[in-house]
Structure 1
Amino acid sequence: MIFLDFPWQHWAQHRSSETALTLGNETLNWRELGQRVDALADGFQQQGVRAGQGVALCGKNCPEMVLSFLALLQCGARVLPLNPQLPESLLAQLLPDLTINHGLAFGSSLCVANIHPLTMNEGERFQVQWQPSRYVSMTLTSGSTGLPKAAVHTADAHLASAAGVLAVMDYGAHDSWLLSLPLYHVSGQGILWRWLLAGGCMVVRDLHPLSEALQGCSHASLVPTQLWRLLEQSPPRTLREVLLGGAAIPVELTQTALAKGINCWCGYGLTELASTVCAKRADGLPDVGEALPGREVKIVDEEVWIRASSLASGYWKAGTVQPLVNTEGWFATRDRGMLNEGRLMIIGRLDNLFFSGGEGIQPEEVESIIVKHPAVKQAFVVPIDDAEFGQRPVAVVETEDDFDLSRLTEWLQGKVVRFQQPVRWLRLPDELKQGGIKISRLKIKQWVKRNSSGG
């Protein structure tokens, strides 16, 4: 699909009366959506938003967030979605280097010096010329070491990402994809651009409870713990496709879903690649499938390297875009992996590897075994310092509250080598659960360190 106008304007011309967006209890067709975006874009332009400027959008998913995102794109802005839980001290460090001119917050505040606050005023109609090569988004990386970086993508890159996923997943004009992941996460933006490319419907609702939010939806992007809870609540019959990511995916989970008529897809993606790189129908095997159309994957010294039309233009820093490809033109991911007949298996992050008594432990390998226990919904293995061994593994797991964690020690015997056996089992606390997005391994390490004194 090659758009000559902004995607929502294209569909307003070709599918004007078909449903485009469900916002809570309100439904907009493509013509109505175009009119709403026109009015908001004019309001932003009157407040000083100009093409090429950076605008921070701070908030959880809500109708206003989605409409403002589209309207700012129609102004030619470079949009930075922000997690409202980010502390102001971090934003004060981050934003000066990201060249942010304006800010708009929903259900939170965004009080940072030299950023002009916006409001959702409506006008008549305003737009710049559609230029798919223009920078449209900046997305913060996870920032596991140091400050997060901001990956900059063009509309072309986002649409290329969407096209790769839609080449294998069946999502079209009469389907509805729930915006089940936040727009400040690249997977949430992936949903939005697939919707715009396919011209289907996107649903924006409060996700609590998820079973109600999914009413009438055919598609969703979830992490395994969300799907576990959904299956416990009885999912709506309309749901038929789920794209999973963000953690090890237990076979029991996908088999249970399939028994209820839900096809599960396993995906591997990165912020820098505008979401999904590889995907496959869940089949119980440990790989993440082959590279999607428009992506190339190879392994160099156990590290996954990627080339793709969805790759970010670079990292934004002080008004310049710093390239992220190496001298050979590939993006080196820092993920350990291997290829078997074109199918990629992710072993874990090179950054996560630690040593215990001289033996290397890749946490993700141990986690993939632990989640096979029927009582475990998700698992994380992190190191704690040890005077004798240097570091030892500790497991943090999510289970039912009444499950005895000590049973996992015996169950794991013979399934991993001795030095990989966790020396302690901890239950994942509610404070670390982030409402459906990938849990920060750094935060888990910090929490374990605080709770391991004397242990």
Structure 2
Amino acid sequence: MGINLATVGVVMAKRGMLTPGPPHRQARQLYTLARWGFGLAGELRQAAARSPKRVAIVDDQRGRVTYGELLDRSMRTSEALRAKGFRPGDKLGLLARNHVGAVEIMTGASAIGVDLVLLNTGLSGGQLAGVVEEQGVTGVIHDDEFDAAVSELPDTLPVIRESDWVADVDATPVPETVDKPNKNGRTIILTSGTTGTPKGAPRKTPSGFGPLVTVIDRIPLRAEDTILISAPIFHTWGYAAMQLSFALRATIILQRKFDPQVAKDTLEREQCDAMFAVPVMLQRMMELPSDPGGKARRPRLRVVATSGSAYPHGFTQRFMDEYGDVLYNLYGSTEASWVCIATPADLRRDADTAGTPPLGTIVKLLDEDGREVTDGETGRIFAGNELVFDGYTSGQTKDFVDGLVSTGDMGHVRDGLYFIDGRDDDMIVSGGENVYPIEVESLLVEHPAVREVSVFGVPDPEFGQRLAAFIALRDGESLTEDEVKEHVKANRARHVVPREVHFVDELPRNATGKILARELRERITEPQA
């Protein structure tokens, strides 16, 4: 699953990472990487060593911050954490949106061996308290807007507001140096928790350039790009985007909350080279009204990289018709990191594909007996690469076969492309027939009246299980339950017709854009006889 050095060199040269610079800065960059490694603290330091005056982050409140200034603030943060009593191995919870202060805390904690637990901003107070207890968090720093959520945390737990923390860091002198700990702090990312309690998954620190090369070989990011990161940096995709950006010495644009119009304006104003997002963000951008005067320019985007959930059928091609062939979609998970990456060419061939495995990645589709299925057959997806996780913080893990981890999804291969057929626990047996909800979702989302839809199985006293559909309609459109059922009956087998249809204003989603199936299930009361 490794990548040979020759390939690493070729890809890095192609992406502008080996461009000559001042010899003393290049030497300091290499020394820093050798000393600090490829974690977040090391990547920041190598970027600051090579390009200290380059803008690292454009923050929607604090403006432009250079790599040199960001490193100074990170070192101050390390000192401020020590002054608060944090020591290597302690667990600091961070409840924050996308902003430069959050990045300072992430890099500052890692640099002194403190483990960082990235808390989901969509958690309720009760959920937050449960996660903090389960993860053994010893202190929390949070954005001021989350005062209500943290109010349910134990009184004995140190809790610091962002505004107070910024004042502490401002008052802390820049230390001459921060000694590297024996072991860098871990970053613990929570699973999405769409169907249950979020679990903590420690993120591996890359041992070399392999993971970076794997991604930029398929997704053509370049050194010193300007990158808008709209995906939440507390979750896998946004965090990975930040790591990649530091490695490339890119200029990162962060905005606390995603607004489709603001994002679109930012892409044009800053002439961004790339954007990292989750699919629903692009869907909201495409729903914006057309520019009546025709004055809006297409941004100079070369890459729009997304991950986190599937797109509605046909959406990817519509997006590329509007923005150009710039869309790259990574299929992966918190546990497996990346599995497949779909390029614009892949998505033009088939809008629903997950693409193909990138460099250094092994993917196998296995049947119930652990044997590989043939092309066209559906199997459980197992994947392996350099950053597959070692298990949850609770001690639990996922299924492994020959070093490959289960993604929890079912899929198939057709004409060399990989496709996702749904979660391995989504398939239901209704009246003796196997039913995949995604088959119905893909059909319904193509209906002109449907904005978004979620279909899943619920218990049924007569058929064992039945399909329930939740549908949000487009503005001004109407649709009845009978019309939905007739539409499915006319285009699919009778046994996949939903037995109940619910219309909602919008589907509940978490901060990473995934639909919260458990909230929808709670709206279904007693099984219908």
| Residue of structure 1 equivalent to 2:55 | 19
- For 2:507 and 2:442, the matched residues in 1 are separated by 23
CA deviation string 1:73-92 (max 9, x = no partner): 22222111112342343344
| Residue of structure 2 equivalent to 1:31 | 68
CA deviation string 1:39-93 (max 9, x = no partner): 2221112212222321100133233222222222222221111123423433443
- For 1:117 and 1:189, the matched residues in 2 are separated by 23
- Asked whether 1:303 is paired with 2:380, we answer yes
SS in 2 for 1:244: strand
Question: What's the offset of the Cα at 1:421?
Answer: 1.6
Which of 436, 450, 453 is equivalent to 1:376? 450
| Residue of structure 2 equivalent to 1:359 | 433
| Residue of structure 2 equivalent to 1:265 | 328
- For 1:188 and 1:290, the matched residues in 2 are separated by 21
Q: Which amino acid aligns with 1:272?
A: E
What RMSD over aligned residues (CA atoms) do the two structures have, in Å?
A: 2.9
| Residue of structure 2 equivalent to 1:166 | 216
Structure 2, unpaired ranges of 5+: 1-11, 13-29, 37-41, 291-295, 368-378
1:80-229 to structure 2, matched below 5 A, reads: 80-106=117-143, 107-109=145-147, 110=150, 111-112=153-154, 114-118=156-160, 119-120=165-166, 121-122=168-169, 123=172, 124-125=174-175, 127-129=178-180, 134=184, 136-143=186-193, 146-156=196-206, 161-214=211-264, 215=266, 216=270, 217-229=272-284
Closer/same/farther in 2, CA of residues 139 and 148 from structure 1, 3 Å limit: same
1:225-374 to structure 2, matched below 5 A, reads: 225-233=280-288, 237-238=298-299, 239-250=301-312, 252-262=314-324, 263-274=326-337, 277-281=340-344, 282-283=347-348, 284-301=350-367, 302-317=379-394, 324=398, 326=400, 328-340=402-414, 343-374=417-448
SS in 2 for 1:108: helix
- For 2:192 and 2:321, the matched residues in 1 are separated by 35
- For 2:122 and 2:238, the matched residues in 1 are separated by 17
Question: What's the offset of the Cα at 1:159?
Answer: 7.2
8 Å Cα contact 1:76/1:136 also seen in 2: yes
| Residue of structure 1 equivalent to 2:503 | 427
Question: What's the offset of the Cα at 1:167?
Answer: 1.7
Give the structure with the higher percent strand. 1
Which of 359, 382, 388 is equivalent to 2:462? 388
CA deviation string 1:404-444 (max 9, x = no partner): 22354444344321111223333344471445521122222
Question: What's the offset of the Cα at 1:276?
Answer: 5.9
- For 2:357 and 2:251, the matched residues in 1 are separated by 26
Closer/same/farther in 2, CA of residues 208 and 140 from structure 1, 3 Å limit: closer
8 Å Cα contact 2:313/2:445 also seen in 1: no
Closer/same/farther in 2, CA of residues 143 and 171 from structure 1, 3 Å limit: same
- For 1:337 and 1:146, the matched residues in 2 are separated by 23
Using the TM superposition, name which of 43-52 and 406-415 deviates more.
406-415
| Residue of structure 2 equivalent to 1:444 | 520
SS in 2 for 1:388: coil
SS in 2 for 1:100: coil
1:45-56 to structure 2, matched below 5 A, reads: 45-56=82-93
- For 1:252 and 1:337, the matched residues in 2 are separated by 19
Using the TM superposition, name which of 227-236 and 255-264 deviates more.
227-236
Which of 61, 81, 99 is equivalent to 1:62? 99
| Residue of structure 1 equivalent to 2:494 | 418
Closer/same/farther in 2, CA of residues 28 and 333 from structure 1, 3 Å limit: same
CA deviation string 1:331-353 (max 9, x = no partner): 12221122346532211111111
Q: Which amino acid aligns with 2:178?
A: Q
Closer/same/farther in 2, CA of residues 244 and 12 from structure 1, 3 Å limit: closer
Using the TM superposition, name which of 428-437 and 199-208 deviates more.
428-437
- For 2:90 and 2:231, the matched residues in 1 are separated by 26
8 Å Cα contact 1:59/1:65 also seen in 2: yes
- For 2:380 and 2:118, the matched residues in 1 are separated by 30
CA deviation string 1:243-286 (max 9, x = no partner): 23444324542233222234222321101123564333222243
TM-score w.r.t. length of structure 2:
0.77
8 Å Cα contact 1:337/1:345 also seen in 2: yes
Using the TM superposition, name which of 385-394 and 193-202 deviates more.
385-394
Structure exhibiting the larger radius of gyration computed from Cα positions:
2
TM-score w.r.t. length of structure 1:
0.88
8 Å Cα contact 1:181/1:437 also seen in 2: no
Closer/same/farther in 2, CA of residues 251 and 290 from structure 1, 3 Å limit: same
8 Å Cα contact 2:452/2:507 also seen in 1: no
Seq. identity, %: 23
Question: What's the offset of the Cα at 1:308?
Answer: 1.2
- For 1:419 and 1:130, the matched residues in 2 are separated by 60
- For 2:333 and 2:412, the matched residues in 1 are separated by 17
- For 1:171 and 1:340, the matched residues in 2 are separated by 28
SS in 2 for 1:278: strand
Closer/same/farther in 2, CA of residues 327 and 396 from structure 1, 3 Å limit: closer
